């Protein structure tokens, strides 16, 4: 099974950004700031402000990934799917909703929080916003290397008619219950059947059994795949093509941590 990595985007303690605008490893520990609309989209958007923190973080990473791949704007819907993984999902939103539901017999239960008590809600938000008609699902991440969503996305591409699949993770810590994550935030790759139509791509990804290979080198975990994509020579440039990435939104203080 083969695919091309054509885009990378993230929202982590390092800030929000995309691969072609920088080469620093965005997966890191530290405080995760929930993105505002202005950090992600130029135009006013009341709907973004109503999203819960989990959905904001996931949608931001998807937006930057599609922007990196030149697929953010569309006129016709595209057969692109989304496969995400998460350890804790929207647990923080679930608890926040319960706190509004328990008093007074549920009379003050928040309908806005209730709308986001499923961890796959941001997948629907992304599909509507970006015209994606492929299959979308969220996996309960149990593997230690964090690659379950990427493997599943590779299998999706191999048997479905989709032109691409967004593959990544979204995880927020929930300190109130002592639930922490190694890399808070969200990061997505855009996997395509073919290299980027503009003539730039990060490289070929191959799945053999359970083992992933990027540019014919073994991929031990998710972080290693990100690092390989963002290395000094991470873009294969085809003759006659140039690309200038849009600067990423970055939190410089978070990068230092």
Least confident of 20-29, 157-166, 225-234: 225-234
**108 vs 88, residue with greater confidence:** 88
- Tens of pLDDT along 41-89? 988 887 888 899 999 999 999 999 999 999 999 999 999 999 999 988 8
Q: Determine the Cα–Cα distance for residues 57 and 75; give it in Å rounded to an integer.
A: 25
Contact 67, 18 (CB under 8 A): yes
> Per residue, what are the HEC states of the chain?
CEEEEEEEEEEECCEEEEHHHCCCCCCCCCCCCCCCHHHHCCCCCHHHHHCCHHHHHHHHHHHHHHHHCCCCCCCCCECEEEEEEECCCCHHHHHHHHHHHCHHHHCCCCHHHHCCCCCCHHHHHHHHHHCECCCEEEEECCCCCCCHHHHHHHHHHHHCCCCEEEEEEEECCEHHHCECCCCCEEEEEEEECCCCCCCEECEEEEEECCEEEECCEECCCHHHHHHHHCCCCCCEECCCCCCCCCCCEECHHHHHC
Query: Residues 108-122: what's their mean pLDDT?
Result: 86
Tens-digit pLDDT profile for residues 242-256 = 333 333 444 444 333
Q: What domains, with CATH codes, occur in the chain?
A: 2-256 (3.40.47.10)
Render pLDDT for 94-105 as a digit per residue (tens, 0 to 9).
888 888 888 877
Q: Is the pLDDT of residue 146 over 60?
A: yes
pLDDT (average), residues 199-226: 92
């Amino acid at each position: 099974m083969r695919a091309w990595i054509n885009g990378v985007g993230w929202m982590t303690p390092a800030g929000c950004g995309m691969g072609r605008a920088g080469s620093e490893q965005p997966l890191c520990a530290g405080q995760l700031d929930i993105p505002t609309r202005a950090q992600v989209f130029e135009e006013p958007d009341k709907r973004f402000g109503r999203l819960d923190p989990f959905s904001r973080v996931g949608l931001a990473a998807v937006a930057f990934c599609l922007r990196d791949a030149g697929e953010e704007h569309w006129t016709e819907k595209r057969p692109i799917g989304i496969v995400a993984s998460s350890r804790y999902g929207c647990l923080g939103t679930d608890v926040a909703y319960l706190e509004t539901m328990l008093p007074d017999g549920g009379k003050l239960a928040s309908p806005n929080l209730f709308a986001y008590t499923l961890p796959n809600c941001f997948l629907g938000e992304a599909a509507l916003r970006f015209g994606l008609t492929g299959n979308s699902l969220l996996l309960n991440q149990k593997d230690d290397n964090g690659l379950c969503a990427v493997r599943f996305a590779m299998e999706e591409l191999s048997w479905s008619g989709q032109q691409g699949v967004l593959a990544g993770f979204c995880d927020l810590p929930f300190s109130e219950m002592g639930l922490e994550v190694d890399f808070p935030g969200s990061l997505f790759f855009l996997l395509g059947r073919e290299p980027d139509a503009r003539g730039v791509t990060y490289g070929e990804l191959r799945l053999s059994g359970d083992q992933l290979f990027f540019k014919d080198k073994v991929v031990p975990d998710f972080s290693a795949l990100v690092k390989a994509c963002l290395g000094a020579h991470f873009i294969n440039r085809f003759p006659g093509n140039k690309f200038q990435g849009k600067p990423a939104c970055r939190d410089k203080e978070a990068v230092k941590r």
